[in-house]
Structure 1
Amino acid sequence: MKLFGLLLASILFVSVCSAKVGKLQRANGLSKDDFATVLEHVESNLPKVWNTLTSIRENGVNVRLTSERKMGPGKAAGTDQIVISTFFLTNDLPKFPEDRLVIVLLHEFGHILHNRETERGQRNPVKHEFFAFAYSIKMAIKLAENGDSGPLDQVIKNLKIRNKSGKPKDPHTIAIKELIKTPLWTNATAALEGD
């Protein structure tokens, strides 16, 4: 598992050398005790998620844990914050195994990177989602090349499902439909099949 952490840290490292390390923060409504319990649970039971969170924080992103679920498992905010629902971290959810949670975190970090590269007024929801999905796929391919195909399996499986069942006008669905026509998608599916 240490190898996964080192690999992930090297993969996620972007040109943010001067950035300070982001903090793990507690959102309003989450008690200090619950916050500590969640952190302990993730570190002990979800080592890939813990390593991904650590690598993201090392790129200057604050990670705020919330007990709210209405936003889904995670959401990026601005250029330096990701909000994660503790519900998805602490419950054994068949639709959200650890490898999918890694992809969620990578996707949200992709949004952060896109926000850092794009002026607020120039942001387009479909391009934003495309960038975030593409980033998570690229990182999953790198993980697979280094022996862990779990995240790649999850991203391919779930994007195929969303491609078929997503709302046609949703920026996520539009971005996925564009993404599956790219060489990146072809490379991702080939990398998984070759595993």
Structure 2
Amino acid sequence: MIFGLVISFAALAQRDTIPDSTGYRVIEKSKQLYPKFYREFQYIIVNDPLIKKIRFVKQQGVGPAFASPKGIITINIDYILTPRPNFDDNRLIVVLYHEVGHLHYYITTKQADWNPENSEKAAFEYSLLKTKELAEKGDCLPLQSGLNFMKLRSEGNNLKDPHLRALKRMVNEPLYAGYLRYLASTCK
């Protein structure tokens, strides 16, 4: 483990849920390796009223974060404790805003109209919106990372995955093209 934290087996046995105190210690220590992610994490927990709770898990083989319609964002601290080549500081910001985007989808869409593909599309679009705001403040790398990985992921073949279906739609739409143009013209 990167930060020398010892997580008890009892905590892992409870569906890999990590005590809040341990999770927040991991986040606090993440500012050394992931300072931008740390900054954005601190910003959203203070400024986004849709977030009711942050929950922490440590699970290998699953994604970096999840959102629940009840306002809960689950952070998989395995992605922070065990760095991955494709999940740097910039991509972790994209993931964080993606999960917040799900919360916005749940609150702005009638529950009867919820569907996984549209939720994923809304979450991807929200992450692009928020990372463009960062680009407007001078940091283009999260937006660039989001656009690159969205395009790469859209080339997959698992059409059962709502992420993939949403991305296949998105990368062919004017909104995505607009973000590419913005990146090309502003972030040189």
TM-score (norm 1): 0.78
Q: CA deviation at 1:30?
A: 2.5
Q: Which stretches of structure 1, 4 residues or more, deviate above 6 A after TM superposition?
A: none
Q: CA deviation at 1:169?
A: 3.2
Matched with 1:95 is 86
Q: 1:36 to 1:107 in 2, by over 3 A?
A: closer
Higher relative contact order (CA 8 A, sep 6+): 1
Alignment of 1:31-42 (within 5 A): 34-35=22-23, 37-42=25-30
Q: Deviations over 1:130-189 (max 9, x none)?
A: 111111111112211221011111111111111112412321111111111222111111
The number of aligned residues is 170
Q: CA deviation at 1:71?
A: 3.3
TM-score (norm 2): 0.81
5+ unaligned residues in a row in structure 1: which ranges? Answer: 1-25
Matched with 2:65 is 74
- Give, in whole Å, the separation in 2 of the partners of 1:166 and 1:185: 20
Q: CA deviation at 1:105?
A: 0.4
Matched with 1:22 is none
- Give, in whole Å, the separation in 1 of the partners of 2:121 and 2:25: 34
5+ unaligned residues in a row in structure 2: which ranges? Answer: 1-10
- Corresponding position: 1:135 with 2:123: no
Q: Which amino acid aligns with 1:54?
A: Q
Q: 1:41 to 1:166 in 2, by over 3 A?
A: farther
Q: Secondary structure at the match of 1:165?
A: coil
Structure 1 stretch displaced more, 167-176 or 100-109: 167-176
Q: 1:166 to 1:47 in 2, by over 3 A?
A: farther
Q: 1:31 to 1:164 in 2, by over 3 A?
A: same
Alignment of 1:21-170 (within 5 A): 28=14, 29-30=17-18, 34-35=22-23, 37-58=25-46, 59-60=48-49, 61=51, 62-170=53-161
- Give, in whole Å, the separation in 2 of the partners of 1:57 and 1:31: 17
- Give, in whole Å, the separation in 2 of the partners of 1:139 and 1:36: 23
Root mean square deviation, CA, Å: 2.1
Q: CA deviation at 1:120?
A: 2.3
Q: Which amino acid aligns with 2:180?
A: T
Q: 1:116 to 1:79 in 2, by over 3 A?
A: farther
